[in-house]
Structure 1
Amino acid sequence: MLVLLPPSEGKAAPATGKAVDLGTLSLPGLAAARRTVLDELVGLCASEDPDAVAKAADVLGLSPGLRGEVTRNAGLHGAPARPAGQIYTGVLYDALGLATLTPAAKRRAARSLLIFSGLWGAVGVKDAIPAYRCSMGVRLPATGALGTFWRDAMADVLPEAAGAAGGGLVLDLRSAAYAAAWKPKGALAGRTATVRVVQAETRKVVSHFNKATKGRMVRALLESGARPGGPDELVDVLGELGFRVEVRGPGRIDVLVSDVH
């Protein structure tokens, strides 16, 4: 099973640690593309001139209150790095609770989870990275739209990763911007399930509950050791784990929640 996750906007910034080593990250086929984006992002944010900082903030879509993130990005080459599972924070990752998984579930997480990123393309939860700010929706001056850039870079790498994960289900929990960077094709698409979380009575997506429920769902799958081979088996497994599910089309599953408060 391979689980595709979105990153979080908020990130924990480690105070100590070695700098990122691109050669040690998962999916080594993305190394050259990672270097391209990293170098341009650092160069964009390197100047302390107020006009240059304002331009970088505009490119990155940062509000005035977040312009300190420009300075953080300028130091990424030497910034302390920690496992990605510790860097990404927020509702989904709080609910997933990687740090409190059983040892067996942590091993499954290391094998199964890929977190998509505008800067790194995709990383595993044990890959050491620094805190940064660069979403998939960013258009860098030279590299261009990151969603398009990563689509080409991932075309061969991600199918190989899906095979290396033991085949079976690809569980796609990414938001739209990150899903656009790579879409499973062919036989792999037939083994892919996308899940949304909706309010049971209205069938509307509620953002907070969507993220929290997805985190709890991934946690339950990892703790159970389940290895669904495709979307149909996932429906059965989620039901056994106590989730209310509906199939709304091939490979498309709704998880229903009643309380949205």
Structure 2
Amino acid sequence: MLILLPPSEGKTAAVSGPAFDPDKLHFPGLNDARKQVLEAVAQASAAADAHTVLGVGPSLAAEVQRNTVLQDQPCAPAHRIYSGVLYDALGYSTLTPAQQRTADSSVIVISGLWGALGFGDPIPAYRLSMAVKLPETGKLASFWKRHLTPVLNEYAAEQLVVDCRSSTYAAAWAPEPARAAAVNVFQIRNGKRTVVSHFAKHTRGELARHLLTRTGAAPETPEQLVAAAAEKWEAELVPATARKPFQLNLILPGQEAAN
């Protein structure tokens, strides 16, 4: 089983740690592409229109500046650099050592800067969304799709892929539909099912944690995945098509709106 996560927008920078070393990352076949993006983002971040290109406001000036010297910044495991709602709900630091080892081998983060990372890979904090179009690379989702597809297709092989990414990051690699399930979160409001962005990240983090901590064998098929999810949520599985993976729908209870 592989669990795909998006990175968080916010990052917790390492105070100390080793300098960046591309040979410490999973998927060494991506290193040439990573170097290209590192150079492109450094150049874009040093330009006068950096904030416009990166799609960030003036309050993030320090993070944009850090993009120009990323290879000199201290690194920490990806699960410590990435922060926010999903990662808080997953709660890596509160997992047992055995569960952390499972997370390190099962979780892949899809990133606008690194392409794909293992959960324990040492990286510096950075600011770069998959939605960005860099002058030297073009749209990052398109750039990475070319590079990720052969690498991750081989790596995933016959494994079940539990896709907890947002649509921005899902555009960078499409796993084999018959072996993948995209996770959607809904809430019941006034008797109707509604898409909820507020709880989606949190619930996906909770699902990842549940899959890493539950007793028994890890699910190997979409049918086993929905059964595992049903241990905690109301869950349903929508069949895959030739081009679209299974859809694992988690339905949260909701409150009726006041009259």
Q: CA deviation at 1:150?
A: 0.2
Which residue is 1:254 aligned to?
Answer: 249
> In 1, distance between residues paired with 2:145 and 2:199?
29
Which residue is 1:49 aligned to?
Answer: none
> In 1, distance between residues paired with 2:192 and 2:105?
36
Q: CA deviation at 1:107?
A: 1.0
Which residue is 2:184 aligned to?
Answer: 196
Which residue is 2:243 aligned to?
Answer: none
Which residues in structure 2 correspond to 1:84-123 (within 5 Å)?
Answer: 84-123=78-117
Listed one character per residue, the Cα deviations across residues 41-97 of structure 1 (whole Å, up to 9, x for unaligned) are 112223xxxxx34x0111000112222221111120101110000000000000000
Q: CA deviation at 1:208?
A: 2.4
Which residues in structure 2 correspond to 1:64-83 (within 5 Å)?
Answer: 64-83=58-77
Alignment: residue pair count: 248
> In 1, distance between residues paired with 2:234 and 2:6?
23
Q: Does 1:174 align with 2:165?
A: yes
Give the alignment partner of residue 220 of structure 1, picking from 210, 220, 225.
Answer: 210
> In 2, distance between residues paired with 1:202 and 1:195?
19
Give the conservation status (yes or no) of the 8 Å contact 2:44–2:53. Answer: no
> In 1, distance between residues paired with 2:227 and 2:203?
17
SS of 1:29's partner is helix
> In 2, distance between residues paired with 1:156 and 1:248?
27
Give the conservation status (yes or no) of the 8 Å contact 1:168–1:228. Answer: no
Where do 5+ consecutive residues of structure 2 fail to align? 241-245
> In 1, distance between residues paired with 2:249 and 2:64?
38
Give the conservation status (yes or no) of the 8 Å contact 1:193–1:230. Answer: no
> In 1, distance between residues paired with 2:195 and 2:110?
21
> In 1, distance between residues paired with 2:214 and 2:22?
33
> In 2, distance between residues paired with 1:104 and 1:244?
28
Which residue identity lines up with residue 213 of structure 1 in the other structure?
A: T
Which residue is 2:232 aligned to?
Answer: 242
Give the conservation status (yes or no) of the 8 Å contact 2:19–2:71. Answer: yes
Which residue identity lines up with residue 206 of structure 1 in the other structure?
A: V
Q: CA deviation at 1:259?
A: 4.1
Q: CA deviation at 1:173?
A: 0.9
SS of 2:41's partner is helix
SS of 2:194's partner is coil
Q: Normalising by the residue count of structure 2, what TM-score does the alignment of the two structures yield?
A: 0.91
Give the alignment partner of residue 124 of structure 1, picking from 110, 118, 125.
Answer: 118
